[in-house]
């Protein structure tokens, strides 16, 4: 089998699901299994300064092979955890060779089908090798495809010394899926002038804008009274929670927005008469609109407090910000990635990320970090898939970026 495919399969079959309710780093012990495996693999292919710290952050170096000492140091970064949104246990990938453009049966017993009638992106990959789930777990191409691409590209450069490049740094992180992938990343130790995360979706994606992001937790305290004697006395926390959600803009939700349109997304609700909790996320590319969204949460609280009394507590936390602010001043790093794709006959798709990556936080930590496609689709669920050819294309893009960065520095 294709050695790149084998490498990818060896990663996705290791369960690395992160846990947002854990305070440790990494948030789950099982992430160490793949982290330690990666350390040994990086040493085996010949990288230098391979290290893993107490929080499972991995760094390694491919030394320059160029006589030019002025080549900038660049980096490539990916995360090895998978989303807590769907099971990552016992991942059993299916390999669909020479895809014919028809339905793919993921799980016959449960009648789970990956269909181009619903996921029309599939039709881009007719004739290619598609890697899917078995319908019971996610795949983990987010972001083990990115790891595969970085490791394979470094191995290629080691085996092809005729390609001149500067010093290349690579970094692999835990807990990106729960928003903490960059929290303990040592930018100064990494030592790159800029970097790229390999964490996008379809071939050609190149992103340097992402959401401004915040989380909000609304806690509502009620009073339980016998319903027969409740008039003027009962405060039903569930009813107030429903009222709170009804006051959010009904069309500003993920399923009704696209492009740079922001949203509110209620992702958890729990409750009883005495207590109810709403957890939601707030997203907008525009900083001013983002701040207005956070203010709306407070306005709704004040409105309901006027009606029901002091029974609502809100906690809003910023998560990350739009990296455009930090990347635009060094836009040449986007141009280099764009040129690399075009030289490989890949059409760049430059668009805002409707989400975030480690790169968004790293950019504000002093490491400008656009995002490049890793090739997967339908992340965080049973319909996730990645074409093998997309992984191979991403490897070629990494190699070409390293080569172009060296040539531009002469």
Per-residue pLDDT of 143-200, as tens digits, reads 999 999 999 999 999 999 999 999 999 999 999 999 899 999 999 999 999 999 999 9
Which CATH number fits the domain that encloses residue 118?
3.40.630.10
Residues 106 and 182 in one domain: yes
Cα separation of 182 and 74, whole Å? Answer: 17
- The reply to whether 286 and 329 lie within a common domain is no
CA angle 236, 238, 244 (to 5 degrees): 105
Q: How far apart are CA 28 and CA 106, in angstroms?
A: 28
Average pLDDT, the chain: 96
Encoding tokens for residue 149? Answer: 């691409």
**Does residue 378 sit in the same domain as residue 254?**
no
pLDDT of residue 165: 98
Query: Is 380 marked as a binding-site residue?
Result: yes
Q: Are residues 221 and 272 in the same domain?
A: yes
Domain that holds residue 196: 3-209+322-408
Residues 185 and 80 in one domain: yes
Q: Do residues 264 and 249 make contact, with C-beta atoms less than 8 angstroms apart? A: yes
Which entry of 149, 176, 207, 252 is annotated as an active-site residue? 176
- Cα–Cα–Cα angle for 231, 235, 238, rounded to 5 degrees: 125
Domain boundary among 270, 292, 320: 320
Q: Does residue 141 sit in the same domain as residue 283?
A: no
pLDDT tens profile 24-45: 999 999 999 999 999 999 999 9
Note whether 193 and 229 are same-domain residues: no
- The catalytically annotated residue of 19, 81, 134, 392 is 81
Q: What is the pLDDT of residue 409?
A: 86
Domains: count for the chain: 2
Q: Looking at the structure, tell me whether residues 316 and 327 fall in a common domain.
A: no
How are beta strands 194-200 and 205-207 bridged, if at all?
Answer: unpaired
Do 42 and 127 share a domain, yes or no? yes
- DSSP state at residue 174: S
Indicate the burial class of 234 (C-beta count within 10 angstroms; 0-12, 13-18, 19 or more).
middle
- Residue 312's CATH number: 3.30.70.360
Those residues whose C-beta lies under 8 Å from the C-beta of residue 111, and which sit 6 or more positions away, are none
Is 308 marked within a binding site? no
pLDDT at 410: 73
Given phi > 0 = left and psi -120 to 50 = alpha, else beta, which region is 124?
alpha
* Cα four-point dihedral sign 236, 242, 246, 248: positive
Is 176 annotated as catalytic?
A: yes
Predicted local distance difference test score (pLDDT) of residue 356:
77
Q: Which of 298, 320, 342 is the last residue of a domain?
A: 320
What is the number of other CB atoms lying within 10 angstroms of the CB of residue 238?
17
Q: What is the pLDDT of residue 319?
A: 87
> What integer pLDDT is reported at residue 1 of this predicted model?
59
pLDDT < 70: residue spans in the chain: 1
pLDDT at res. 150: 98
Last residue of a domain, one of 297, 320, 343: 320
- DSSP for 195-254 reads EEEEEE-STTEEE----EEEEEEEEEE-B---GGG-TTT-B-HHHHHHHHHHTS-TT-SG
> Would the annotation count 21 as a binding residue?
no
Do residues 192 and 228 share a domain? no
Q: Are residues 233 and 189 in the same domain?
A: no
Check whether residue 339 and residue 255 sit in a common domain: no
Does 268 show up as a binding residue in the annotation? no
142 is in an annotated binding site: yes
Both tokens of 306, joined, read 């006027």
């Amino acid at each position: 089998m294709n050695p790149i495919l084998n490498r990818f399969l060896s990663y996705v079959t290791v369960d690395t699901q992160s846990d947002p309710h854990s305070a440790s780093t990494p948030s789950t012990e099982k992430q160490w299994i793949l982290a330690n495996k990666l350390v040994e693999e990086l040493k085996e292919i010949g990288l230098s300064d391979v290290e893993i710290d107490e929080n499972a952050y991995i760094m390694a170096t491919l030394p320059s092979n160029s006589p030019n000492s002025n080549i900038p140091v660049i980096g490539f970064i990916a995360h090895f955890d998978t989303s807590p949104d769907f099971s990552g246990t016992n991942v059993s990938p299916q390999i669909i060779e020479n895809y014919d453009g028809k339905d793919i049966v993921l799980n016959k017993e449960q009648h789970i089908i990956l269909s181009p009638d619903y996921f029309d992106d599939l039709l881009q990959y007719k004739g290619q090798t598609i890697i899917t789930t078995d319908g019971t777990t996610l795949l983990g191409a987010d972001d083990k495809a990115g790891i595969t691409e970085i490791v394979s590209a470094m191995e290629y450069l080691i085996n092809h010394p005729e390609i001149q490049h500067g010093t290349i740094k690579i970094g692999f992180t835990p807990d990106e899926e729960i928003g903490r992938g960059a929290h303990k990343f040592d930018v100064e130790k990494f030592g790159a002038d800029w970097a790229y995360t390999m964490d996008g979706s379809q071939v050609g994606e190149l992103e340097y804008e992402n959401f401004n992001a915040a989380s909000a937790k609304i806690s509502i305290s009620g009073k339980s009274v016998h319903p027969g004697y409740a008039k003027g006395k009962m405060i039903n926390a569930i009813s107030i929670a429903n009222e709170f959600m009804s006051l959010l803009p009904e069309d500003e939700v993920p399923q009704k927005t696209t492009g740079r349109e922001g949203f509110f997304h209620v992702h958890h609700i729990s409750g009883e008469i005495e207590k109810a909790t709403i957890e939601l996320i707030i997203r907008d590319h525009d900083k001013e609109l983002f701040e207005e969204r956070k203010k709306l949460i407070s306005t709704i609280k004040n409105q309901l407090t006027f009606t029901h009394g002091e029974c609502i507590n809100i906690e809003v936390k910023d998560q990350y910000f739009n990296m455009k602010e930090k990347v635009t001043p060094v836009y040449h790093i986007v141009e280099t990635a764009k040129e690399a794709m075009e030289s490989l006959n890949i059409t760049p798709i430059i668009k805002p990320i409707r989400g975030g990556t480690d790169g968004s936080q790293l950019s504000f930590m002093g490491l400008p970090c656009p995002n490049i496609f890793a090739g997967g689709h339908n992340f965080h669920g049973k319909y996730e898939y990645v074409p093998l050819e997309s992984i191979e294309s991403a490897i070629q893009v990494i190699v070409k970026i390293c080569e172009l960065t060296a040539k531009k520095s002469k």
